[in-house]
Structure 1
Amino acid sequence: MEGDKHKEALYLFKAGHWNQCHKLIIRHLASDAIINENYNYLKGFLEDLSPPERSTLIQDWDTAGLVYLDYIRVIEMLDRIQQLDCSAYELERLHTKVTSLCNRIEQIQCHNAKDRLAQSDMAKRVANLLRVVLSLQHSPEPASDSTPDVQRVPLRLLAPHIGRLPMPEDYALEELRSLTQSYLRELTVVTQ
């Protein structure tokens, strides 16, 4: 009655109404949390809904709540990997999760402009995450300034995934320009 969606979600969760709680979070809380990068807030709700005994009862969990949760977890994994030395296995695991997200972000339903903004923010961030992960996997030796060389990322690994992301037109054009420049650089190296 008060219109406090946060409290409503908490009470639905405490009452064991997982499906209704999930629906309310996705429709009213998730986009704001993504736009404002309030990932811990959203993660708290979604992790509580994620155990199989709950998530299997939630309609559209795999195409909504789980996508948001996986997005947050990927961001956290990359932060950990960048702070510590990591194994090739961990990088491969992260690569698999990021490419999976590239395919699933477009499945998130957008009901309004805020939802589309959150979806495009996620798409842009995942495109950058994919570049970073691929550059970490393909850099021959760590750079002295600890930033991966994004220019060395093989285009054939990047292009198919970037093309699937639901990005605004201006950002998609920027990505296309970047991919084209990378392709031209690869051609130049091959012909020399």
Structure 2
Amino acid sequence: MIEFRNVTKIYPNGTIGLSNVNVKINDGEFVVIVGLSGAVKSMFLRCINRLHDISEGEILIGGKSITLAKGKELRKIRRNIGMIFQNFNLVTRSSVLKNVLSGRVGYHSTVRTLLGWFPKEDLELAFNALARVNIKEKANSRADELSGGQQQRVSIARALAQEAKIILADEPLLLIL
């Protein structure tokens, strides 16, 4: 469950992005946020996983405050929140497989992930995620060799491999999984 309690976001220049927002999204719900360009949809999503901090109020994820969470507790909450970005946020010089495995970094030490030492189970998760989005054969291709649609599917596979309980998709997309 995601809950916004009296959430306000004010930018440093004084612009109000959110004003006293109260929203409750229950487990299993599929919610779509619709609005014109510049209507703060992306910022709203980025507040959920704390890529943007809020100015006032509190955001709860599964009953725990992500607003107050720090360090290890924040990382633990975030690993349950997958994010599919508008621009996909892929490392274009890396392989598709490495990009998908980046969804697993929240489960391992920094040293282990920097060295690319992922356990067999993570590799299986990554390949299964690539199969679900129908691009398993591209696992060893560089991300910059893919079409835009294929890059979007890599981004989706990364969120699937993360095994997140919540997936935030910052752009309209069709998920056939």
TM-score, normalization by structure 1: 0.30
Bigger relative contact order (CA 8 A; separation at least 6): 2
Larger Rg: 1
Structure with the largest fraction of strand: 2
